């Protein structure tokens, strides 16, 4: 595959809303999509309003009857073709996202590999999404699944490739049509999907409308012809989206924040500690810490604490901080100045509370003057501290020493989130009992972030409602309809003639 450079990305100079398989002219206000590290303008993007949202919803509404009528095999064929086209563009998309979001190209490439898996998974799953039936007296009961119609979907900026696939794939596989709003902080690779969508799907099946959350996003969630809403982002905005759905009595699925515990038991082998340290480092620092599933609370048992912390400090200090286009930086820049200032404020809070182990400083990277780069930062703290309780969304790890198992569980569950968790142990009882008692939708034993296609992805408490990434997601995008058929009409009994 060609190794694309930043100046060889074939971007449009301006992106209008993608509706009916074409980009609409940009006639109103725009916002600049800029490189997170250099501040360079990569393209201008339409700041769409309720008018563009309505145009997209009407397009999706027109396309829905024919798309719903297609067989699962026909919908699957479109998704398979789309997956192939996305796969052919990975080397280009990875650079677009690296510039747009600020993450390293080695990570953004993995995003789009996972996205391709999602499209193919739901292409296959569409052919197995069946109802059920059983006999009843003088007949048969059939329960079938039917798509909702137009789905309004809103995605965040941190992993655009993955987020677009998580929303588009199950919705269209189940027979719905889509209006997708990408985040204004990172929307270029999502807008670029329009070129491939037009080659694979009938007009109106997938529409993409960029804009600000309070404008385009609000118009989408409140539109009377949107039959289902799906949102990924912060709990604060999730509440607003949920309220919009409740106001119109339409189903809403939410994937929100996290403050995930990662637990190390003392029974791990000495030879395995370096491996665990490496996985802990990755689990907390991937995506530059800007991930809802990052293992940002590390619980290390007192019996191995000092040895473990020495190795963890050395591991963090080996991480290279570099430009996003570096072939293999392990840590790059945050998405924006706003996010950088947020992370800086939490680092300042952690320093004031004490317990800094390593890092804590902003880093300058040559040629990336606009970027907010930070050293990998580790604090020793307690579970009730702000840095252990609040989602920072940056390369900051809180380490907590533990002795008592029941207190460990209380602390691990003692946050408002419940998205993911990790466990390291050589003891099957520890693994199973702890996984069973953790309030988390995803628990990974001995390998953090062990995502597999088909594994449910969703959370407890304020981490969201519903599961993505799995066969169950198709149910989330469909109604259940019951049809009962009798082979003969019952004798009159309610008000029979004399």
Q: What is the percent of the chain with per-residue pLDDT over 90, rounded to a whole number?
A: 93
User: Is this model's pTM higher than 0.85 or not?
Assistant: yes
pLDDT in tens, 321-331: 999 999 887 89
- Map out the domains of the chain with their CATH numbers: 14-256+463-482 (3.40.605.10), 261-445 (3.40.309.10)
pLDDT in tens, 421-447: 999 999 999 999 999 999 999 999 999
The three-state (H, E, C) secondary structure of the chain, written as one string:
CCCCCCCCCCCCCEECCEECCEECCCCCCEEEEECCCCCCEEEEEECCCHHHHHHHHHHHHHHHHHHHHCCHHHHHHHHHHHHHHHHHCHHHHHHHHHHHHCCCHHHHHHHHHHHHHHHHHHHHHHCCCCCEEEEECCEEEEEEEEECCEEEEECCCCCHHHHHHHHHHHHHHCCCEEEEECCCCCCHHHHHHHHHHHHHCCCCCEEECCCCHHHHHHHHHCCCCCCEEEEECCHHHHHHHHHHHHHHCCCEEEECCCCCEEEECCCCCHHHHHHHHHHHHHHHHHHHHCCCCCCCEEEEEHHHHHHHHHHHHHHHHCCCECCCCCCCCCECECCCHHHHHHHHHHHHHHHHHCCEEECCCEECCCCCCCCCEECCEEEECCCCCHHHHCCCCCCEEEEEEECCHHHHHHHHCCCCEECEEEEECCCHHHHHHHHHHCCCCEEEECCCCCCCCCCCECCEECCEECCECCCHHHHHCEEEEEEEEECCCCCCCCCCCC
Region 252-273: mean pLDDT is: 96
Q: Which residues are catalytic?
A: 255, 292
Structure confidence at residue 3 (pLDDT): 61
Region 159-176: mean pLDDT is: 98
Stronger pLDDT, 327 or 407, i.e. the higher one: 407
Structure confidence at residue 183 (pLDDT): 97
How does residue 5 score in pLDDT terms, banded at 50, 70 and 90? low
How does residue 1 score in pLDDT terms, banded at 50, 70 and 90? very low
Structure confidence at residue 131 (pLDDT): 87
Structure confidence at residue 76 (pLDDT): 98
pLDDT in tens, 134-160: 999 999 999 999 999 999 999 999 999
Region 53-73: mean pLDDT is: 98
């Amino acid at each position: 595959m060609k190794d694309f450079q930043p100046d060889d990305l074939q971007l449009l100079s301006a992106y209008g809303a993608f509706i009916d398989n074409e980009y609409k002219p940009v006639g109103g206000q725009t916002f600049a999509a800029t490189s997170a590290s250099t501040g360079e303008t990569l393209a201008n993007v339409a700041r769409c309003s309720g008018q563009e949202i309505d145009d997209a919803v009407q397009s999706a509404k027109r396309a829905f009857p024919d798309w719903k009528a297609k067989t699962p095999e026909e919908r699957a064929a479109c998704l398979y073709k789309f997956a192939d086209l996305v796969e052919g563009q990975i080397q280009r998309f990875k650079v677009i996202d690296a510039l747009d979001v600020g993450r390293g190209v080695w990570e953004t490439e993995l995003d789009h590999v996972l996205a391709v898996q999602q499209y193919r998974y739901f292409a296959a799953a569409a052919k197995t999404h069946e109802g059920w039936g059983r006999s009843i007296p003088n007949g048969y009961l059939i329960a079938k699944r039917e798509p909702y119609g137009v789905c309004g979907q809103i995605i965040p900026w941190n992993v655009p490739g993955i987020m677009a696939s998580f929303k588009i794939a199950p919705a269209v596989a189940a027979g719905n049509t889509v209006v997708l709003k990408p985040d204004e902080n990172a929307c270029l690779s999502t807008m670029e999907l329009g070129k491939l969508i037009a080659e694979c799907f009938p007009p109106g099946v997938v529409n993409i409308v960029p804009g600000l959350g309070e404008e385009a996003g609000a118009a989408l969630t409140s539109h009377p012809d949107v039959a289902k809403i799906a949102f990924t982002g912060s709990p604060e905005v999730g509440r607003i989206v949920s309220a919009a759905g409740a106001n119109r009595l339409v189903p809403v699925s939410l994937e929100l924040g996290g403050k995930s515990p990662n637990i190390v038991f003392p029974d791990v082998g000495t030879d395995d500690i370096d491996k665990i340290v490496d996985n802990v480092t990755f689990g907390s620092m991937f995506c530059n810490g800007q991930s809802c599933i990052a293992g940002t609370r590390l619980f290390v048992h007192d019996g191995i604490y000092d040895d473990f912390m020495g190795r963890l400090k050395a591991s963090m200090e080996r991480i290279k901080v570099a430009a996003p286009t570096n072939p293999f930086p392990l840590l790059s820049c945050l998405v924006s100045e706003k996010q950088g200032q947020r992370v800086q404020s939490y680092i300042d809070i952690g320093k004031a509370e004490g317990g800094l182990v390593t890092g804590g400083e902003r880093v300058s990277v040559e040629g990336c003057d606009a970027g907010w780069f930070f050293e990998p930062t580790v604090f020793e703290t307690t579970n009730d501290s702000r840095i252990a309780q609040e989602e920072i969304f940056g390369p900051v790890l809180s380490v907590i020493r533990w002795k008592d198992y029941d207190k460990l569980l209380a602390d691990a569950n003692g946050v408002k989130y419940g998205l993911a968790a990790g466990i390291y142990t050589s003891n099957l009882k520890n693994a199973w009992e702890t996984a069973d008692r953790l309030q988390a939708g995803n628990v990974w034993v001995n390998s953090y972030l062990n995502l597999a296609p088909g594994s449910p992805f969703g959370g407890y408490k304020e981490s969201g409602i519903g599961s993505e990434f799995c066969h169950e997601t198709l149910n989330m995008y469909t109604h259940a309809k019951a049809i009962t058929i009798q082979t003969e009409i019952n004798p009159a009994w309610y008000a029979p003639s004399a």
